Chain A
């Protein structure tokens, strides 16, 4: 195998798994590695082989990026803080007698279904192996959670639900999550290119 083909093949394997800017950065590193091995006196083909060997299995390199990608991080943070927000809202729904609120059953069911869908997406982002799928699942999942948090805040404020202190706690919990999501989303979307 010729050295240039070896490098092209290696980069193609990375391209299949990782966003373009990351591949560009690795390609630059690979060029540097080839140059270093040539500087040690190796011919072009042997230098290319040494560079590819030095960088390691492309699947392992990609796995490292998936483990540290922004989408993975945000999804895990949301799943970890989810039970706290859920507890706040659950307490409010019970204390505020949510079953007496003028909300159509279909809307309640739709809310539940969308929430389940968002949690499923976040879970797949938290454990998935494919960079693009992890990133997209995290983006859609966190955007959905943000809309749901905002919907709940809007609903209880418009219904003037009591007791006020639980409203304050639940609203604060959701508000913090919204701010965190809105801050994290650009980084995730930037990674998905």
Chain B
């Protein structure tokens, strides 16, 4: 899925990628790649500003850690982020169910 189609949904995916526990930016990208079986076609560099935006919004919290002599910024979901994620997930399920029903339903009989 390309960047323009993702607009507005990237935040949900990032929050979901942090649901199991803290990750650094690149690990978030790898988790997304794995979760979407490689279908996510997004420059990795654009994940980072999105993470910073979520942090400013209080949905995730970032902290520096030293790993192997290198400083690394780790992100974790905040309680507000967890709530936002379940809200976005419910909204997406409703939307997806509606679209699937609308697009895949076949009329029972053609009007003549």
Residues of A within 8 A of B (CB): 22, 24-26, 28-29, 31-33, 36, 54-58, 60-61, 64-65, 67-70, 73, 187
Contacts and interface: CB of A to CB of B under 8 A. Distances in A.
A61 B49 contact: yes
Interface stretch (B50-58, B78-86, B90-98): B50-58
A36 B48 CA distance: 18
B73 interface: yes
A56 B46 contact: yes
Contacts of B50: 64, 68
A68 B44 CA distance: 16
A70 B56 contact: yes
Contacts, number: 68
A57 B43 contact: yes
A171 B56 CA distance: 28
Given A25-B25, A32-B26, A33-B26, A64 B46 contact: yes
Given A28-B72, A29-B26, A73 B48 contact: no
5 contacts: A25-B73, A28-B71, A33-B26, A64-B48, A68-B49
Contacts of B29: 29
Given A60-B43, A64-B45, A28 B70 contact: yes
A38 to B, nearest CB: 14
Contacts of B26: 28-29, 32-33
B53 A29 contact: no
Contact of B46 (A22, A31, A61, A69): A61
Interface in B30-45: 30, 43-45
B30 A28 contact: no
The 3 tightest CB contacts between A and B, nearest first, are: A56-B43, A64-B49, A61-B45
Given A32-B26, A70-B56, A55 B49 contact: no
A56 B29 CA distance: 13
A36 B31 CA distance: 13
A29 B48 CA distance: 9
B24 A68 contact: no
Nearest to A32: B26
Contacts of B72: 25, 28
Nearest to A54: B44
Nearest to A36: B30
A26 B49 CA distance: 10
A29 B44 contact: yes
